[in-house]
Structure 1
Amino acid sequence: MNLTEVKKSLERQFARELSQGSVRNIVFWYDEEGVFADDIDSLALEGVKIIKLYDNNMFATKLFIEETDTTGNLLVYSPLPRPANRENWLTDTIKYSQTFSTDETSLNLLNFKIDSALRHVVARYKLFFRNSERCKRFEGYHLAPYTEAKIDVGVLSALCKLPAPNLDNVVRTLLIELANGESTVYGSIAKFGNMDALWALIQKSYGYNFPEQSLEKLAILLLCTHLAHSINGNLPKEWQTYVSANSNCFVFVDNFMKNSQLWEAYNKLAGFVAERLNLSERTSKWSIDEIVDCDTFEEFDRSIISRVCENIGQGVGEYERYRKVIHSRKNRRYYPQFKIEYDVLLYACEYLELAQKHAELSGFTVVKLFDEYTKTFYKLDSSYRHFLLGYDKLAERDGFGPLFEKVENSYTNWYLNELSMKWCALWDDERVWQVPGITSQQGFYDKYVRRFVADNERLIVVISDGLRYESAVELSAILNREQKGSSELDVMLGVIPSYTALGMASLLPHKNISITDKADIEIDGISTKGTDNRGKILKLVKEESVVTTYDHVMGMTGKKMAEKFSGVKLIYIYHNTIDARGDNAATEHEVFEATEKCFRELSGLVRALRNNISAINILITADHGYIYRRKPLAERDKTPKEDAAAIETKRRFILTKENIDMQGTQVFSMDYLTKDKTDIHAVIPRATNCFKIQGAGSCYVHGGTNLQEVVIPVIRFKSDKNLHRSMGAKKVSLGLTNLSRKITSVITHLTFFQNEPVGEKLLPLRVTAYFADEAGNRISNENIIIAESTSDKPDERTYKEKFTLKDMPYDKSKKYYLVLKDEDEIVNSEYLRIPFIIDLVFGGSIQF
């Protein structure tokens, strides 16, 4: 300690309140080694006289104190050891005076104002207090009033360079170091701290009772105890030794594993412990139900994924059960890491469950089968799309091979094949391409557009090339969630052949559609190719009209967009993302990825039109759908193309003036489309077959009559700049159903209720829930609650969660809080704060 620090300590000592009957402070300082002998003359203490004491002036000093100066403050300094009492003339004087010592422990007690009763504790840390940086950090913790445990934790925290004293954080620092194969901090504790004090705290706080001071055993103890809280089966006998009855173990691990800033650190530690437990060999011995709630180690997710994949791939069934298992993993720690794998399994279960439920593909008339598709069967296409979308993202597909084969074979050989054959068979006796009660695609303008033109209201028509009905269902839901307004979905019967040129033409206003000998599509004598020609056709019905493309519109600034469409009443916007990718042999397998991109683009387009030109009425439709299967059509399943005078030839159709009878095909007159009689016929392979023509690419096809190709969506989006915020999508609400606000046990169960089902304007809510004290310190584990149920049944919107409190003293006169936080909210993240009284019957034994 330097002279400045000595001076400060002496000033504090002389500033102390006088004891009863005293008129001054007398301080004796025996500097045994004479460290400050040369500096004592420069020590200026205000209002204090310094007397130097040696062997030869003890009597003189006693006389000065008791006779010469009886009122002034005195510092009696001796550079020698204090003599024995019987040899010391000043013994009686010292008894009613104070003493000052420059031994390290005494100075530290003085510096930090620690009671001398804790001298033995401070004495442990002589080396620690010799460093000014460590002293500064320790002092900054403001630990007074001091206790032995506070000093121990303060020293340990300072050695770990923590911002605040906390034993959990000390232990976490040491465990992270262990997992990284390092020992710097642990070595500092051994050198400057006290190992016995550290392990005494660990024993008391976590129930560590092994004789060895082993961080490895501590790590195993903590994670095994956490596992024991969640496993529904039994731990191996050799692991049970490592299970502590102390609830702090569970809370410690739970808070560690859910701290996003320490994500990788926990992964390393969990991997370190899992390796020592040889966990990968053990997980297979538990059933799925026994480990469904376990998330201490990622091996449990790997095991669940592997076994669910194997079981459903082998046709075990139980799809609803496995779907519940997958949904239950959503609030587990490792779910984000394995989200793709879980998505693949979820949509495989969804598809296979639908396939099982609708094995008969009921529908005995054209009308009924069309209706069944728009209400139910389209979900098979949707779940297949999501399944393949996830499957393509898998980093490792080896274990998913049998499941892929099962889904692909079912979708291609049963669903596509059976549905298309049934649909084709129903048309064998039909003469006109028309479904009673369903608007035909060529009637789009008359039904959806004409009234806006007549009323001089602005209407925007977005035509997305290849947007299937099943995808439009999802897009409509997205618009309802993301946009202020309402979205409704209608359906039309698409034209055949279901290809771009004809589909695009049918959506334009027209009196007559005709097909030339060169397969050009004309409306009232005007070609429908290109935006310029389509613009001419629109201007026949509305002068204030514009035809443009998605890329052109989204390339504009908001100001430019407003100028471009100022005064325009009818706007056709052409969008091509799905078909551009699918109708290309090199990228056809990316069609489902393109569908996701399509959703983002169209939602963004709607937002831009609303914000920049105050668009109110927007229609989104398509020119055609498509068939997609991952495995190309086998050559044996392709229909031979006979030599015929064809106007147009594609994989899925031939346009010809010859009335031919070709095996494996259906022939439709194009009279259904034109007002004038035509001798043009469409020859279309039955079911999902294609013609044998040159060129690559036969996974993504369209042009035929299949429901996936001709069920055309019409999304009617209605917006209003004056819509109240309530018209936008909101999250569902969540409440606590327990009436009691008193907790009497370290482990308690609480039940939460999702007040409304998730719907078009009600979004899922994800919250984290935990208990905290009045200062905001977490005192329990954290649970994630995902309120996403779409069910109308109240019991299916109920969430029961288990909370484990830290083993610590609780004051029943104080309030503790159940805190629910919505982490998606940046500003107002606290969703609920409910006060509780904690009055434990057992527990709360650990005190600092």
Structure 2
Amino acid sequence: MFLNIEIVDRNIDMDIAEIVQELNRRFALPLKEYYERHIIFWHDPEGEFAEEIDTLSLDNAKVLKLTGKNQFLTKKILSHDDLESNYLVYVPFDYESLEDNWLLDIEIASGSFRADLISMWMDEAKIPDELSYRKLLKQYRKFFNARERRQQFINISVGEYTQSKIMLGMMAVLVKSKSIDVGDILRAVLTAGTVMEENEAYQKLESFNLTGVFWSMVRQITGYDEKDGSNLSRLLLYLFVTAASRVLPNRAFKEIETLKGDGFETYAFDFISEWMHGVRRREFQPVAQRVEKALNFAHRLKGLSLDELGSFDLLPCVDGVVLERLLQDCLDNLVHPETIRKVCERRRSAFWYDEWESLYEGLWQYGNMLAFAEEHRTGFHLTNPREVWEAYTGNYYRMDSYYRKFHAAFAKTLGRNLPEVLDDAYKQLSEMVENHYTNDYLAQLGENWTKNIAHDLSEFGKIQEIPQQTDFYKTKVAGAKYRIFVVISDAMRYEVAATLADELAREIPSEVNLGSCQSMFPSITKFGMAALLPHENLSVKLDGSGNLAVLADGQSTDAGNRDAILKGANPKSVALKASELNLMKRSERTAKVKGMEVVYIYHDTIDAASHTDDKKVFTACHETIDELKNLVRIIINEFGGTNIILTSDHGFLYTGRPLAEDSKAGSGLAKEDIVELSRRYVITDKEAEADHLLAVNFMPENGDFKGFAPKEQIRLKVKGSGMNFVHGGVSLQEMVVPVLEFKHVRSDSAAFRKNRKQYAMKPVQVRLLSSGHKVSNMDFGLNFYQVEAAGSGFVPANYDVYFTDAYDNAISDVQRIIADKVSPESTDRSFRCNFNLKAGDYSRSAQYFLVIQNADTSEVVQKVEFQIDTAFQKEEFNFME
């Protein structure tokens, strides 16, 4: 039995007091059957209490102190001279052999007691009292001498003791690892630096004489032979090269083959991967950057194909290499759109993706633009206005969206410290984007559209058989049987509203329908806003400043008079500004709409951005989508609104680069004939003529003015800035006004109960597609598919996919599936994931599982049993035995 006493800096007085107390307790215990007294042998091999024993006084026992020369006398006393007294026999040394212990028979029959420091430390840590462990603690007495280190050793949870685990426990404490896992210990050392003299963790090991054990451990688990040099820097390079060699072809390691550890690729890959994704992730990047610089990995990776690079992400430079290759292939017109999208999709779940997201997003959109161009490579040859309009609102608008999203991504890279080659290539790509968009899309589509609408505009001032903005209030608002909210976002063009519609459908249980109407001419705010108000007749007149004012049934339609016009049609109406609502408290907002049947809310982010810097317009489009979604939620949650229409006064035309001279034109009109002139329209006296412009029968009811618009994307020459962002003309981008009808479906409604699956807004599901459930290699690929398209009751979700054993221990790396596909075609919603099994001893008869887990909720949504039959056998790490 050991005595539980903690020794702190050898406080002898305290120790002796506790020891005496324990000894008195033992001597007072009842005697065993046939025993007449207590004899206790106190072993103190270091003689730490040799001085104190001479003055030791016990309540009911005598003390005998062995000196190494009085064994016979002591045995005589115990066996002959005094057979009645209790005795404590103090033994301040170890016997070289059992034969030297003349008192062994008495000790076996009686009992022993240890109160030396090592015994106390072993008892404290619950280390079995075995000679091998005692010798080990004696050897590393310096480590265990500090109470704080002993407590850290106990806290680190060594488990069932072996000599190796005790060594691992000591190393873990010294290098500040959270576990005795050999990988964690090694990562802790390498994280502290590769210059051994400056590495605090390594110096700790050295100060406690543990570096030899450390290198022995390294050799066994990694294959690195310290005979090549006990060098942390070389070890780090060795680990990265060995790990990378598992997934990259041999030619990537030319001239550094000696750094590869044959047979240890799996362990090295696991080691680096766990480092990347583990608790020391923030410390990993500078380490990896040192490795790639030392071995010029960026140059090595450039010799590999995009397929060979695959999902490799152990080094930060890999995405730069992938992007450089992909960008160059785009610039050389050597890449198919599907290849671009495949590479970008594959990299989305890579470790370093976030740092390069804007470049990948730009390339993704460029791939979409190429696919669109390929689909319409013969141009646009539709034969009537309605056909063009329906083609645009059904499909063509997507090109505008791809272009906008490219520029939004491109804007995020400006001002970043990108590598020069990537910065130059991305800017060259932006020029190609401009060419595709401006020359192949805007010019050709604009020409087809202009030809089709020329007659109707000249004859009627509008396009026949297309819903008109001037009828909006009559057809969408007046006579509605329910309270209606109308949100008018200045300059929100159709493609922006299409993105908004998709996101609303995915995020909120609702019925969403995106329609359109033709804006008034000119497609500018004062006309568009007037058209959306209730009226029987719209007219214009020159105000005191010589500018045209738009009147609704003779009333001014300026912003300050819109509330009055709405109330004139329905007294229970109100006009509000989104910017003011956002600043109000909830109670104040609610009071504004209480009792109202028609609520108009005016929003202005896109147009406002164009007044300061038109290069910020596309960023403003993104902000508009977020702001409008938030406004919809306010209407639903605070105002109790169900029916919402989101629309606009007009769209806009935007091109990113400075316009060439052939994209500009003079009006050709005499100054005195011009009533109002802008870059995309001109209003003149009724007698004026401008043959090179498109004639528009401007407000024929007035009969006092004429309208003209430049063809296609041409801008009229007007002094001042703002050439890139324009509106007022007759392009599809300017004239197609979105009418997004949103109906919230409440969870307690009959519609929700009837179509619960459609409105429940569940995360899309991901399932295994591959049919074979057997793994025969340490690295392999599997196919998965997204069951539902995002939207219509299903929201995007992220899934982590990995393998476990029967006890839920992870046995592979974790792959991330970003399930946000919106395509109705199931073939477009597939994913390919490559897995790497951890080093281990896998049995074909054991149970293993593929786990698909929702990364946001941690819910396991699918668990598929697999058989693993590989040739790899795990090596047992017993470097001390």
Tell me the TM-score normalised to structure 2 length. Answer: 0.87
1:442 Cα deviation after fit? 0.9
State the alpha-carbon separation in 1 of the partners of residues 32 and 135 from structure 2.
26
- Structure 2 residue aligned with 1:266: 284
The aligned residue for residue 458 of structure 1 is 483
Residues 202 and 208, structure 1, Cα contact 8 Å, conserved in 2: yes
Is 1:525 the counterpart of 2:554 in the alignment? Answer: yes
Residue 649 of structure 2 aligns with which residue? 623
Aligned pair in 2 of structure 1 residues 564, 839: CA closer, same or farther (>3 Å)? Answer: same
Q: Per-residue deviation at 1:796?
A: 4.6
Aligned twin of 2:208: 192
Q: Are 1:204 and 2:220 an aligned pair?
A: yes
Q: CA deviation at 1:658?
A: 2.6
- Give 5+ residue unaligned stretches, structure 2: 1-6
Residue 520 of structure 1 aligns to a residue whose secondary structure is strand
Matches within 5 A, 1:392-791: 392-394=411-413, 395=416, 396=418, 397-430=423-456, 431-452=459-480, 455=481, 457-518=482-543, 519-531=548-560, 533-582=561-610, 584=611, 586-635=612-661, 637-641=663-667, 642-643=669-670, 644-671=672-699, 676-721=701-746, 722-723=748-749, 724=752, 727-736=759-768, 746-747=778-779, 750-772=782-804, 778-791=810-823
2:338 counterpart (315, 320, 330): 320
For residues 783-828 of structure 1, give each alpha carbon's deviation from its aligned partner in whole angstroms, at most 9, with x where no partner exists.
2122333445555544443443433457999866654443333xx5
Task: Give the structure 1 partner of residue 269 of structure 2.
Answer: 250
Contact 1:176 1:269 survives alignment (8 Å): yes
Q: For 1:525, give the aligned amino acid.
A: G
1:305 aligns to what? 323
| Aligned counterpart for 2:147 among listed residues 132, 149, 153 | 132
Alpha carbons of 1:625 and 1:48: their partners in 2 closer, same or farther (altered >3 Å)? farther
Q: How far has the Cα of 1:187 moved from its partner?
A: 0.7
Contact 1:208 1:244 in 2 (8 A): no
Distance in 1, Cα, partners of 2:842 & 2:829:
33
Q: Deviations over 1:336-389 (max 9, x none)?
A: 111011111111221133123223123222122222211222111111111111
Residues of 2 paired with 1:706 and 1:530: CA distance? 26
State the SS of the aligned residue for 1:486: strand
Alpha-carbon distance between aligned partners in 2 of 1:155 and 1:711, rounded to the nearest angstrom? 73
Bigger drift between 705-714 and 134-143 goes to: 134-143
Checking the alignment, whether the CA contact within 8 Å between 1:180 and 1:268 is kept in structure 2 is: no
Further displaced range: 830-839 or 443-452: 830-839
Q: How far apart are 1:178 and its partner, in Å?
A: 1.8
Q: How much has 1:627 moved relative to structure 2?
A: 0.7
Superposition pairs for residues 28-39 of structure 1, below 5 Å?
28-29=41-42, 34-39=47-52
Q: Which residue number in structure 2 is paired with residue 228 of structure 1? A: 245
CA contact (8 A) 1:477 1:760 kept: no
3-state SS of 1:678 partner: coil
Structure 1: 5+ residue runs without aligned partners? none
Change beyond 3 A, Cα 1:421–1:96:
same
Determine whether 1:61 maps to 2:77.
no
**Matched AA of 2:801:** A
Task: Work out the percentage of aligned pairs sharing the same amino acid.
Answer: 29
AA aligned to 1:667 is: A
Q: Quote how far apart the aligned CAs of 1:39 are.
A: 2.1
- Secondary structure at 1:572's aligned position in 2? strand
Q: Is the 8 A contact 1:179 1:268 kept in 2?
A: no
Q: Which moved more, 1:368-377 or 1:604-613?
A: 368-377
2:166 is paired with a residue whose SS is helix
The worse-fitting range, judged by mean Cα deviation, of 501-510 and 90-99 is: 90-99
Cα distance in 1 between the residues matched to 2:225 and 2:359: 41
Distance 1:415 1:180, change over 3 A: farther
Q: Aligned to 2:798, what secondary structure does the other structure show?
A: strand
- 1:99-178 residue pairs with structure 2 within 5 A? 108-109=121-122, 112=125, 113-114=127-128, 115-178=130-193
Please give the per-residue CA displacement for 1:462-504, whole angstroms capped at 9, x wherever unaligned.
1111000011100111111222322210011111111111111
Deviations 1:602-630 (A, max 9, x none): 11100001111100110000111111111
Q: CA separation in 2, counterparts of 1:44 and 1:822?
A: 69
Determine helix, strand or coil for the equivalent of 2:263.
coil
Contact 2:215 2:226 survives alignment (8 Å): no
Distance in 1, matches of 2:824 and 2:467, equals 33
Deviations 1:278-321 (A, max 9, x none): 11221221122211221111211101111111221232241211
Deviates more, 1:373-382 or 1:763-772: 763-772
Aligned pair count reads: 836
After superposition, the Cα gap between the structure-2 partners of 1:483 and 1:82, relative to the gap in structure 1 and judged at 3 Å, is: closer
Q: Distance in 2 between matches of 1:696 and 1:747?
A: 58
Is 1:284 the counterpart of 2:302? The answer is: yes
Deviations 1:55-93 (A, max 9, x none): 785444222322355587643125678699999864765
Q: Tell me which amino acid in the other structure corresponds to 1:621.
A: T
Name the CA distance, whole Å, in 1 between partners of 2:793 and 2:94: 85
- Relative to the length of structure 1, the TM-score reads 0.90
CA distance in 2, matches of 1:286, 1:693: 52
CA RMSD of aligned residues (A): 3.5
SS at match of 1:781: coil
